[in-house]
């Protein structure tokens, strides 16, 4: 497997449940239930309370969970001091690390630190951050994480996916392809059951699944996982149909 790829697990689109949506009083039990669904990775938000107004999980908790689960850990840093957290996470041993462009003064150095430790490296972009900020570093990224809401506000019930989300995913796919790369696109924030097919059709390769999809109330985790895969297939069919149409022109 070459670089610029998240691990493929039998499907063209990866589902990565967000630990922040689990029951923190029964965190390990919830992770065991997630493992039973057949997922292969967990999305873990590491927030410092400054870059984003929340502090759900600390390094100690992440380290303890890492020692008790065989799942891949995809850690999304939302912090002002990226270098500190990157160095600590590489000691813990996680499979992939994402940091925000908006809080990184030395983007290329952060990518190098992650890759030198043997982890996959990604850059996260807030909704209004233009793709062009990655012009000189995209080739060093295994994936790009597009925030579809403002980071850290997932718990706000009225917070909806930004109206230009699908357009940005589509533009990101074109941006990557225009450089001859295969960098994966991760989408995070209000990826609800109702929009999964649309974001996949637009070009998303990995879905961070939270309270409106994998942890959706009224259904079991397994049932939600099955329904998510059905929506993904619809999205892939739409994407493939669109791409086939381009080739015929």
Mean pLDDT, the chain cut into blocks of 10 residues (249 residues total) = 40 90 94 96 90 80 95 96 96 97 96 98 98 98 96 62 96 98 96 97 97 95 97 96 70
Of 74, 142, 188, 205, the catalytic one is 188
Closest CA to 70 of 38, 116, 118: 38
The secondary element (H helix, E strand) that includes residue 147 is: strand 143-147
Q: What is the pLDDT of residue 63?
A: 96
Q: What is the per-residue pLDDT for 11?
A: 47
Per-residue confidence (pLDDT) for residue 7, from 0 to 100: 39
Extents of the domains making up the chain: 14-248
Note the pLDDT of residue 5.
Answer: 40
Residue 2 is predicted with a pLDDT of 40
CATH superfamily of 14-248: Aldolase class I (3.20.20.70)
pLDDT number for residue 154: 53
User: Which one is catalytic: 30, 45, 72, 74?
Assistant: 45
Supply the pLDDT for residue 187.
Answer: 98
Instruction: Give the DSSP H/E element, type plus range, for residue 143.
Output: strand 143-147
Half-sphere exposure of 232 (CA within 13 A, CB side): 21
**What pLDDT, on a 0 to 100 scale, did the predictor assign at position 242?**
83
Report how far residue 76's alpha carbon sits from residue 99's, in angstroms, rounded to the nearest whole number: 6
Is 133:154 a contact under the CB 8 Å cutoff?
no
Q: Is 205 known to be catalytic?
A: no
pLDDT of residue 184: 97
Is 188 designated active site? yes
């Amino acid at each position: 497997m070459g670089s610029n790829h998240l691990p493929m697990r039998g499907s063209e689109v990866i589902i990565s449940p967000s630990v922040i949506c689990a029951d923190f009083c029964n965190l390990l039990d919830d992770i065991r239930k997630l493992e039973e669904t057949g997922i292969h990775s967990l999305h873990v938000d590491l927030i410092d309370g400054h870059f984003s107004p929340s502090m759900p999980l600390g390094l100690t908790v992440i380290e303890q969970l890492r020692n008790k689960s065989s799942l891949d850990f995809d850690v999304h840093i939302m912090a002002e001091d990226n270098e500190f957290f990157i160095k600590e996470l590489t000691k813990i041993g996680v499979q992939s690390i994402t940091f925000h462009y908006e809080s990184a003064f030395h983007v290329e150095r952060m990518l190098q630190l992650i890759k030198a430790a043997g982890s996959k490296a990604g850059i996260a972009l807030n909704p209004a951050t233009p793709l062009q900020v990655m012009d000189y570093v995209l080739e060093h990224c295994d994936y790009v994480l597009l925030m579809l809401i403002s980071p850290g506000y997932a718990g706000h019930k009225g917070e909806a996916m930004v109206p230009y989300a699908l357009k940005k995913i589509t533009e990101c796919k074109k941006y990557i392809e225009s450089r001859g790369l295969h960098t994966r696109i991760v989408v995070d924030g209000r990826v609800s059951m109702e929009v999964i097919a649309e974001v996949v059709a637009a070009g998303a390769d990995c879905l961070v699944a939270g309270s409106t999809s994998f942890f959706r109330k009224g259904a079991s985790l397994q049932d939600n996982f099955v329904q998510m895969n059905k929506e993904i297939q619809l999205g892939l069919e739409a994407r493939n149909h669109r791409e086939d149409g381009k080739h015929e022109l």
